[in-house]
A = this chain, B = another copy of it.
């Protein structure tokens, strides 16, 4: 797949990723390592919790969405280097068996003033489950290479 440089991108461009199927084992394994709370680890405890059933850690949802971005998203030249993330929300939990898909929209393309070989894009990232429900959204600033040094 061809890599994209700053010149290839403009505000309003949209990209859709492939899909990622979430298993119960994935949810529990991630939680064991990084977010060991009962509602991410144990079916019974999760049923009694505010989630009403096993739910992925929000940081797991973020990590799975990053995988979708890197493997089937924008394919930025030099890699996807995030400078910052804002308004990260998890409006619905991710459940075992969910199939996730990411949609990105470019909101702004800004060449660097001081460094002619690069620029920054601002993108909106929305992750949906198989029912089309939003499970995560955020905006990010990402470093992007320029093809032509001016």
Spell out A's residues near B (CB within 8 Å): 30, 33-39, 49-50, 57-60, 62-64, 66-67, 70-71, 78-90, 138, 143
Which of the residues B63, B81, B83, B87 comes within 8 Å of A59, measured between beta carbons? B63
Chain B contacts for A89, CB-based, 8 A:
83-85
Secondary structure call for the A interface:
mixed
Chain B contacts for A90, CB-based, 8 A:
82-84
Name the distance in Å between A79's Cβ and chain B's nearest Cβ: 5
How many copies the complex holds: the figure is 2
Chain B contacts for A64, CB-based, 8 A:
34
Report the separation of the CA atoms of residues A116 and B145 in the bound assembly, to the nearest whole angstrom: 51
Which of the residues B37, B49, B59 comes within 8 Å of A62, measured between beta carbons? B59
Report the separation of the CA atoms of residues A64 and B30 in the bound assembly, to the nearest whole angstrom: 11
Name the distance in Å between A35's Cβ and chain B's nearest Cβ: 5
Chain B contacts for A70, CB-based, 8 A:
35-37
Report the separation of the CA atoms of residues A39 and B143 in the bound assembly, to the nearest whole angstrom: 14
